[in-house]
């Protein structure tokens, strides 16, 4: 091995790693773990007085307000249950606008006045917390001196106990608002949008003659992609530590071209990690189901079974936290950034979304003959209309500096938001455009030509992985969510724009004269098909032709965050969010400004890192090698030989390029535009390209400089030795 000493140490440490066996899996079935750390329905039923349990269940299942007195009784039961599980503290858990989970812990213990202490926990402490809000982003909603913030118990998301080696904490999911009542978190708008969706969906169901209608909820199933690399390499890469992605790194000799990684055999250490993280998630009652190798080397995926969207959003945050925590116990770092490595696939989060209830089931279930299923067609048409009207918003909800690296590259959906409907449904909506739909294309079966193999039922449509918003049987899959992002903002948007569309349709249908309901449904479906089918595209979303065609159809193509963030406060967005009481104009403006701020800060940190690494690590390595070559040239000359100067010239050239690029980046970084919008545009148009120039010179040097002088772990080491 000729790598630099720090790299050699990292390689050796990775090589000597032995996987610990920590789970008593032979003795304890995972079913016995499931939900064991959760104050779930079963526990509530067992521990709460019947009347209180019933009242709480009613609130959860119908969205009715919590009855007075309930909280005190629940608090007592919660405290006893948590203390039995070793809890010393309770914490209100919330998601401020950073998108990262926040928690403030308070001890149960209170002095008893006699020199001892007793564990106390009241209904008031359960319902309301008062964390200082001044250090969370507010987008100008309040000044620093107006510091008061409140957390409020979300009854619908279960409390749980989180474990550390030295104790446990009772965790209470909460909403977070400012003293003036303005929303400062991601959960509150999700809950509000779910309420709106319930109201509007019920109007439609009522029109279709249903009498017994349970609360309609949005459902969500997020598939999480991530990378795992040995922590020794991670710690030797300041760019990964501080920015979450590699800012330099030459393409390795082998990448993902053999397509041998996807669904490949999971390496032992990774599988042990998966078992452990899943066991932890089971304990938390998070229904993780699927795991597999992803496309890029050292990339994996975990997916839970779908749940009520609000709970899925909470659980998704816990999944990210758990993956990161457990990876460290296995000597690895879990990278959740969208694009940790250039040249191989990045990570995303596919969000499967639908709506339904306990009485009518999944409202996006087409059945075998969708052309006859008017109720389904109405809900599906509502999605088509909503996505067409608010395509830019759906792009803006997932905007971040890191996601910009992925969207629009040929591995992730394009920044153009279109819908894949599949052959069967597209055909039905094309028929509707012209009038009534009379047929549905058949799905059929598949014979494999071997009698011992089963005859397989075939789906009516193929899949399409290039589409950002794909209908996949009985749900839509939105594929542009960032891998390190909360799904809450997107869920809020989907529920809100869907509510608006359902409202639009219900308002039309409610006016239909008696006996003319079917004709009214047909008319509204035809109208929506005519006006909004432009958003449907079943072809290759990566192709050049689609970009041209999409432009012709008037679909927005918002490539970068600065391009799309203004949509967060566009007229149509504000109208929809205000109409359904989801967020006010002021709250939307705050969110937009925070997104701008985060973008500028993210790019700035990366620019700082690029300069620091280039100047303090790369440049010294390059000039040492240059000196070595220069000495060699002089020595060969002195010995009367004909020295080879081409390497020296090459290195010298790249060092000059590096110095020039650093100077340019440094100037771009020092420049300050006035105002957030101009600042973000400057980051996007000047700073990011200048960073790429530095990277070009650094990556060229990585291919020239002697390996024993190269300071940073290489792509080959991080991606292929980590297992
Ligand atoms: P894929 O092949 O894309 O992984 P799956 O059928 O395995 O597709 O489903 C992926 C995700 O979609 C899972 O999390 C699953 O629970 C979720 N899902 C399935 N049905 C629904 C639904 N009705 N609403 C929301 N998510 C759903
Ligand atoms: Mg999928």
**The pairing of beta strand 149-153 with beta strand 167-178:** antiparallel
Q: What is the pLDDT of residue 139?
A: 80
> Is 362's C-beta closer than 6 angstroms to any atom of ligand 1?
yes
Q: What is the number of alpha carbons within 13 Å of residue 138 lying toward its C-beta?
A: 23
> Is 220's C-beta closer than 6 angstroms to any atom of ligand 1?
yes
Query: Which of 307, 459, 475 maximizes ligand 1 atoms within 8 Å of its Cβ, making it the mutation to test the pocket?
Result: 475
> Is 178's C-beta closer than 6 angstroms to any atom of ligand 1?
no
Q: For residue 265, report the phi and psi dihedrals to the nearest 5 degrees.
A: -65, 130
Element (H, E) at 700: helix 688-702
- Strand intervals (E) in 205-362: 217-230, 288-293, 299-304, 307-308, 332-335, 348-357, 361-362
Q: What is the pLDDT of residue 449?
A: 66
Q: Which stretches in the chain have pLDDT values below 50?
A: none
Q: What is the pLDDT of residue 603?
A: 97
Q: What is the pLDDT of residue 448?
A: 65
Got the DSSP string for 599-649? HHHHHHHHHHHHHHHIIIIIHHHHHHHHHHHHHHHHHHHHTT-----HHHH
Residue 290: exposed, middle, or buried by beta-carbon count in 10 A (0-12, 13-18, 19+)?
exposed
Which atom belonging to ligand 1 lies closest to the Cα atom of 354?
Answer: 24
Residues 6+ apart with CB under 8 A from 100: none
For the CA of 286, the nearest ligand: 1
Q: What letter does residue 584 receive in the DSSP assignment?
A: -
Alpha carbon of 479 to ligand 1 centroid (Å):
12
Query: How distant, in Å, are the alpha carbons of 281, 299, 452, 623 from that of 278?
Result: 5, 17, 35, 48
Alpha carbon of 491 to ligand 1 centroid (Å):
15
> Is 304's C-beta closer than 6 angstroms to any atom of ligand 1?
yes
Which atom belonging to ligand 1 lies closest to the Cα atom of 305?
Answer: 16
Q: Are 59 and 80 in contact (CB under 8 A)?
A: no
Cross-strand bridge partners of residue 58: none
CA 21: distance to chain centroid? 31
| pLDDT tens string 557-577 | 999 999 999 999 999 999 999
Q: What is the pLDDT of residue 24?
A: 77
Query: Which of 281, 316, 352, 462 maximizes ligand 1 atoms within 8 Å of its Cβ, making it the mutation to test the pocket?
Result: 352
Alpha carbon of 350 to ligand 1 centroid (Å):
9
Task: Provide the token pair at 457.
Answer: 């039922």
Task: Provide the token pair at 117.
Answer: 């202490």
* CB neighbourhood size of 162 (10 A): 22
């Amino acid at each position: 091995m000729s790598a630099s000493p720090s790299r050699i140490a990292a390689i050796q440490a990775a090589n000597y790693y032995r996987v610990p066996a920590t789970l008593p899996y032979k003795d304890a079935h995972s079913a016995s773990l499931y939900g064991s750390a959760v104050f779930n329905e079963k526990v509530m039923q067992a521990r709460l007085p019947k009347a209180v349990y019933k009242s709480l269940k009613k609130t959860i299942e119908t969205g009715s307000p919590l009855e007075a007195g309930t909280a005190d009784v629940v608090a007592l039961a919660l405290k006893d249950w948590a203390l039995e599980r070793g809890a010393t503290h309770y914490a209100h858990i919330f998601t401020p606008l950073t998108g990262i989970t926040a928690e403030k812990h308070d001890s149960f213990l209170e002095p008893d006045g006699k020199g001892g202490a007793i564990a106390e926990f009241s209904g008031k402490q359960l319902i309301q917390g008062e964390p200082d809000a001044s250090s969370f982003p507010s987008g100008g909603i309040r000044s620093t001196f107006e510091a008061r913030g409140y957390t409020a118990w979300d009854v619908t998301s279960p409390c749980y106990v989180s474990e550390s080696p030295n104790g446990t904490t009772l965790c209470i999911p909460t909403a977070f608002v400012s003293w003036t009542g303005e929303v400062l978190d991601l959960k509150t708008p999700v809950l509000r949008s779910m309420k709106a969706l319930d109201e509007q969906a019920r109007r439609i169901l009522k029109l279709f003659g249903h009498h017994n209608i349970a609360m309609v909820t949005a459902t969500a199933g997020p598939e999480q992609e991530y990378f795992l690399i040995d922590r020794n390499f991670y710690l030797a890469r300041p760019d990964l530590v501080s920015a979450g992605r590699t800012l330099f790194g030459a393409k390795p000799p082998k990448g993902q071209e053999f397509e041998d990684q996807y669904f490949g055999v999971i390496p032992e250490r990774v599988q042990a990690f998966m078992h452990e993280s899943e066991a932890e998630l089971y304990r938390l009652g998070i229904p993780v189901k699927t795991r597999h190798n992803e496309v890029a080397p050292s990339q994996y995926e975990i997916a839970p079974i779908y749940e009520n969207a609000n709970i899925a959003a909470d659980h998704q945050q816990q999944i990210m936290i758990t993956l990161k925590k457990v990876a460290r116990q296995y000597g690895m770092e879990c990278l959740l950034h969208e694009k940790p490595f250039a040249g191989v696939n990045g990570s995303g989060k596919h969000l499967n979304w639908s709506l339904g209830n306990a009485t009518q089931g999944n409202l996006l279930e087409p059945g075998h003959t969708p052309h006859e299923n008017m109720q389904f067609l109405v809900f599906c048409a509502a999605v088509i209309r909503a996505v067409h009207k608010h395509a830019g918003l759906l792009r803006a909800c997932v905007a971040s500096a890191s996601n910009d690296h992925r969207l629009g590259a040929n591995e992730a959906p394009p920044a153009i938001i279109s819908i894949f409907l599949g052959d069967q449904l597209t055909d039905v909506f094309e028929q509707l455009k012209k009038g009534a739909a009379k047929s549905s294309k058949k799905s059929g079966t598949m014979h494999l030509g071997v009698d011992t193999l089963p005859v397989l039922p075939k789906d009516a449509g193929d899949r399409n992985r290039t589409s950002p918003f794909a209908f996949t049987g009985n749900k839509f899959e939105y594929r542009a969510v960032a891998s390190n992002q909360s799904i809450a903002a997107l869920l809020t948007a989907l529920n809100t724009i869907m509510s608006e569309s359902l409202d639009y349709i219900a308002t039309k249908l409610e006016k239909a004269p008696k006996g003319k309901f079917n004709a009214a449904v047909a008319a509204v479906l035809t109208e929506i098909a005519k006006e909004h089918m432009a958003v449907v595209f079943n072809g290759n979303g990566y192709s050049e032709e689609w970009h041209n065609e999409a432009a012709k159809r008037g679909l927005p193509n918002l490539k970068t965050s600065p391009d799309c963030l203004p949509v967060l406060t566009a007229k149509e967005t504000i109208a929809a969010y205000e109409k359904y009481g989801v967020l006010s104009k002021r709250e939307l403006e705050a969110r937009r400004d925070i997104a701008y701020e985060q973008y500028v800060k993210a790019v700035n940190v990366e620019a700082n890192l690029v300069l620091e690494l280039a100047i303090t690590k790369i440049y010294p390595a390059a000039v040492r090698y240059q000196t070595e070559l220069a000495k060699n040239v002089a020595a060969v000359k002195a010995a009367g030989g004909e020295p080879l100067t081409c390497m020296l010239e090459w290195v010298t050239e790249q060092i000059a390029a590096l110095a020039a690029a650093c100077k340019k980046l440094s100037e771009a970084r020092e420049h300050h535009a006035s105002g957030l919008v101009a600042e973000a545009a400057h980051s996007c148009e000047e700073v990011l390209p200048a960073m790429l120039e530095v990277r070009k010179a650094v990556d060229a040097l990585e291919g020239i400089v002697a390996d024993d002088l190269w300071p940073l772990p290489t792509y080959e080491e991080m991606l292929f030795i980590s297992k």
